[in-house]
Chain A
Amino acid sequence: MKMHLECPMPKFGFDVITLGHGSGGLLTHQLLKSGVFDVFNNEMLNQQHDGASFELNGKVAFSTDSYVITPIFFPGGNIGELAVNGTVNDLAMCGAMPQYLSLSFIIEEGFSMQEFWQVLMGIKEAAQFAGVKIVTGDTKVVEKGKGDQLFINTSGIGLIHPRAIIHHIRIQSGDQIILSGNLATHGIAIMSKRKGLEFETDLESDTAPLNHIIYHLLETFGEQIHFLRDPTRGGIASVLNEVAELTQLGYHINQKLIPLDEQVEGACEMLGLDPLYVANEGLFVAIVAKEIAADFIELLSKDNNGKNAAIIGEVVTDHPGKLVMKSRIGGHRVVNYLTGEQLPRIC
């Protein structure tokens, strides 16, 4: 469940971000003080040093990602939540329990202070929900026209679960391919609000931190989980093509079994997009030992992020290195990598 933080926006004295806010001088200091240190208040950040120092005991995962989404506010979230959840999920997919994040902004001159505050609140909410601390960061302001409102980079670090052995070399023939929820919801929710393409849906991005459910799954099934990946850009087609290439096993999925919201399916039909290539958030692909697949689904489907989880296919020895999908009508086709961007078709 999402929390709603209703902190009032501090009086920065400016309606918009100016170049001065990135100068390193007084304006930067004021912005950081009320916008960052007070908001994310923790002992490491409060040292206001160039970096964070902490101890970690065990094997660590480390990940980074940059967030450049348009529009920055979308149904179901904003760029701030995405920046936290994205890196949290990348760590979770390594079998790690995310602990600390860095947070860097590249802000375009003229960006609304009110919106910046909303993004900060989104970050705070998401970090609290995921149970991670923002411990270091950076803010830069670029001239108008040299950026697109707001770019965020987050890096994160987390301890790997002692029972997690997530690696593509562990995938074997007979393993089941599991999708944790409805495909392509995030990508289509964003697209429905893009300028020039607005169409009516009540779809919301499913951006969410997956670390809690991954922790439960690792606690229960440990090394029986062979591979985890969140299919963000490039969709599940890219993830499964990558592992097909790496493992030289065949990946066979059944279109009929792939959970897909009716509105998403309709939008994809209309725009000529293939949901297999559409970006996702709050969704993961798991490749697990056949023996645990049913129990894995049972546990996963009790979680808010796993209600529609389904086994969508299996790993086979046929067609090594290739992803093949059985169509709804029973035909088969190879699913390749996406080339370039998916461009809506003419007619």
Chain B
Amino acid sequence: MKFLTEYRDPELVQEYLKKIHRITTRPWTLMEICGGQTHSLVKNGILDMLPEKITMVHGPGCPVCVTSLSVIDEAIYLAEQSGVIFCSFGDMLRVPGSTKSLLEVKAAGADIRILYSPLEAVELAKANPDKEVVFFAVGFETTAPANALSVVHAAKSGVFNYSILASHVLVPPAMEAILSDDENVIDAFLAAGHVCTIMGMEEYYPVAEKYKIPIVITGFEPVDLLQGILMAVQQLEKGEFKVENQYTRYVQREGNIVAMKTIFEVFEKGDRIWRGIGSIPNSGYEVNDQYKLYNARLKFNLNLPVAEENAACISGDIMKGLKKPKQCPNFGTACKPEHPLGAPMVSSEGACAAYYHYSSSTGRKEVIT
């Protein structure tokens, strides 16, 4: 477990905590973008180790949580077509659509496969020439290269019974949407380390400049997160607003050029509806014209009505940082992982699920010490 244990070192953790406590003089609200970061904060019990003055709010960086109801409905529609093998990453299956989830459709007999890589779906298409194989291409910039690569790979090998239902979402437009909201409470961002590993840092400089907000690109282990928080608080206390990189062991300023090239080969930017937040301009990837044969929306003439979100779910407010999961009247009662009202309760990276699984009472100091 080299490269992990040193980032979970209890002594280093204490050292960073002490520094954070020492320099924090005013209340600050920090948002960690990525669901993986949220999970790590809660799972390791970090939230109750931070100074009272620091509030962590959990951002929209969980792909399962922000995929709109309409897209889930599209996935369900495709999965129910005869002759279709519908492939998805595991945690999309439980997300409720307007009337049901993929898991229920699977139980009713649809051919739905849980895969770990979109390239497996291409292999599946090769092995089943009489079927149409559709891959549910969800995720942030992180999963986009592999999904794009599957399309390139299919095209190169002359596989035409493969297509993807693209539902990619992009981080910087979501940050801007949050920052330009009248009710915005965020003082600094911990940007998502994995996203920046692919995309680099360039996109973040204009955001930091325009909104005068510190952005620290941060990893996922306890030491990463505490170092990221420390760097953000240092900037806030000094009145600075820079883009900084805590996750230097992976993130380079220019990003992963090869991965980005693959993304732009297959995808183009377009507006995307985010669950609970609404439509954000240029915040998603869709398959471009050159590869339109691989766009499941075109191949199956998808034209479903836009689905209405469940009004009882406050996921939008949670993902914008306006509310904590436990401030939702349905948290842990009408809404539980086994019957979620909204997506943040479904995914292992959803803020509501993280709170549900790892802490039990209410309020900030909820975790027993």
Q: In the complex, are the beta carbons of B8 and A328 less than 8 A apart? A: yes
Please report which residues of chain A, range 327-347, place their CB below 8 angstroms from some CB of chain B when the two chains form the complex. 327-336, 339-340, 343-347
State the Cβ distance, A327 to closest chain B Cβ, in Å: 5
Contact A347 B142, beta carbon cutoff 8 Å: yes
Contact status B89-A266, CB under 8 Å: no
- Complex Cα distance A347/B44, Å? 19
CB contacts (< 8 Å) of B265 on chain A: these are: none
Binds A, one of B23-31, B45-53, B267-275: B45-53
A346 touches B46 (CB 8 A): no
* Nearest-neighbor residue (CB-CB) of B4 within chain A: A269
Of A269, A334, A344, which is within 8 A of B359 by CB? A334
Q: In this assembly, does B64 line the interface, its C-beta being within 8 Å of a C-beta of chain A?
A: yes
| In the complex, chain A residues whose CB is within 8 Å of the CB of B262 | none
Which of B9, B45, B89 contacts A333 (CB under 8 A)? B45
Q: In residues 300-347 of chain A, which contact B (Cβ within 8 Å)?
A: 318-319, 322, 324, 326-336, 339-340, 343-347
Whether, in the assembled complex, B336 has its beta carbon less than 8 Å from a beta carbon of chain A, the answer is: yes
The chain B residue sitting closest to A272, CB to CB, is: B348
Question: Cβ of B356 < 8 Å from any Cβ of A?
Answer: yes
The one of A196, A335, A347 that contacts B140, using a Cβ cutoff of 8 Å: A347
Q: How far is the CA of A263 from the CA of B113 in the complex (A)?
A: 26
How far does the alpha carbon of A57 sit from the alpha carbon of B45 in the complex, in Å?
52
Tell yes or no: B206 within 8 A of A by CB. no
Query: Is A1 an interface residue when CB atoms closer than 8 A count as contact?
Result: no
**Candidates A318, A327, A339, A347; contact of B368 at CB < 8 Å:** A318
- Given A346-B92, A346-B138, are A331 and B46 neighbors across the interface (CB < 8 Å)? yes
Instruction: Say yes or no: is B360 at the interface (Cβ < 8 Å to chain A).
Output: yes
Q: Does A148 contact B (CB under 8 A)?
A: no
With both beta carbons as reference points, the residue of chain A lying nearest to B87 in the complex is identified as: A196
Q: What are the residues of chain B within 8 A of A272 when measuring CB–CB?
A: 348
Q: Does A345 lie within 8 Å of B46, measured CB to CB?
A: no
For A197, give its contact among B44, B116, B222 (CB under 8 Å).
B116
Most-contacted residue by chain A among B36, B116, B222 (CB, 10 A): B116
Residues of chain B within 8 A of A330, CB atoms compared: 10, 13-14, 45, 49
Instruction: Confirm or deny: B143 has a beta carbon within 8 angstroms of a beta carbon on chain A.
Output: yes
Residues of chain B within 8 A of A202, CB atoms compared? none
Q: Does A262 contact B (CB under 8 A)?
A: yes
Cβ of B1 within 8 Å of any chain A Cβ, yes or no, is yes
Interface size of B in residues (CB-CB distance below 8 Å): 50
B242 interfacial contact with A, CB 8 Å: no
Asked if A204 lies at the interface with its beta carbon under 8 angstroms from chain B, I say no
> Is B344 among interface residues, defined by CB-CB distance under 8 A?
no
Residues B94 and A343 in contact, CB atoms below 8 Å apart: yes
For A336, list chain B residues within 8 Å (CB): 356-358, 360
A346:B369 contact, CB within 8 angstroms: no
Known: A329-B222, A333-B367, A334-B359. A347 touches B10 (CB 8 A): no
Cβ contacts under 8 Å, B36 to chain A: 347
18 contacts between A and B (CB under 8 A): A262-B1, A265-B1, A322-B368, A327-B44, A328-B10, A329-B10, A329-B45, A331-B48, A332-B368, A334-B360, A343-B93, A344-B91, A345-B347, A346-B63, A346-B64, A346-B91, A346-B138, A347-B140
A-B complex: 10 closest residue pairs judged by Cβ atoms = A331-B45, A343-B90, A339-B337, A333-B358, A329-B13, A334-B360, A347-B142, A346-B89, A344-B90, A327-B44
Q: A196-B114, A327-B44 are in contact. List 15 more A-B contacts (CB 8 A).
A: A196-B120, A269-B4, A328-B8, A329-B9, A329-B10, A329-B44, A329-B45, A330-B13, A331-B45, A334-B359, A344-B116, A345-B91, A346-B92, A347-B139, A347-B143
* Chain B interface (Cβ < 8 Å from any Cβ of A): 1, 4, 8-10, 13-14, 36, 42-46, 48-49, 63-64, 89-94, 103, 113-116, 120, 138-140, 142-143, 194, 222, 336-338, 347-349, 356-360, 367-369
